[in-house]
Amino acid sequence: MNTGSIMTSIDFLKIMQQFVATAAIGTSALRNQGKGSHDAVRKVLSGLDLLPLKKMGGDEYTRWIDVTTLSVLCCWKGKAQPWGAARKSVNLFMRDALYNQYLNSEYKLSSIEQWMEIALDSKVSKGLRNRFKRLPQWPGLRHLTQEVSDQYQECAQQLAERVNMPRVHLDIWLWLENR
C-alpha cells in the first residue's frame, strides 16, 4: 500500500478504521437512540484494537463481541442503555471492516467471517420472521435483549447455511428485500 511519505502504514489503518466506523454508523443506523449516540459509538469503534481478531476462533470471537458490545454501551449518551443498538453498531462496523480491503487484509477478518453476526434491525427481522414463524415479535433496538438477539442469530445462521453464505452477508439481502 502506497499512502505517501507523510503518513505511516499504522496511521493509514487508524484513519481507515475511523472512516469505516463513521460510514457504518450512519444517521439511519441508530435513529432515535439518543442525541450524541452516533458520535460516541463511532469513537469507541474507531479506537478498537482489531489485532487480536487475527487469531480468534468462534468462542473467542463470541466473547470479544460481547465485551465490545458492553464497551459501546458504556459510552452511550443518555439514560437508556439499548443493548440492541450497541450490538447492531458493532455488527455493522465489523461487516464493513470485513468489506474494507485494507482492514480485512491487515487484521485477517476473513478468518472470522464465519462467526460474524448479522446486524439486526426491523428490516432484517422482518425477513427472518417471514421465514421462521417461531421467532418472537421484533421488540425494536431499544428493547432488544441478548436472549432475543440470540434467537434471531440462530435463525439467521440456519438461513445462511441454506443459501450457503456466512450470516453476516444476509444483512444486505434481507435489508434490500424489506426496505
**Non-local CB neighbours of 87 within 8 Å, separated by 6+ positions:** 65, 69, 117, 120, 144, 146, 149
Residue 3 pLDDT exceeds 60: no
Q: Give the pLDDT of residue 113.
A: 97
DSSP result, 49-97 = --GGGGG--HHHHHHHHHHHHHHHHHT--SS---HHHHHHHHHHHHHHH
Burial annotation 148-171 (CB, 10 A radius, 16+ → b, else e): bbebbbebbbebbeeeeebbbbbb
pLDDT tens-digit series, residues 52-111? 999 999 999 999 999 999 999 888 766 677 899 999 999 999 999 999 999 999 999 999
Torsion of CA 167, 47, 25, 151, to 10 degrees: 30
- On whether the pTM is more than 0.85, the answer is yes
Instruction: Please give the single-letter amino acid code of residue 4.
Output: G
pLDDT tens-digit series, residues 139-173? 998 899 999 999 999 999 999 999 999 999 999 89
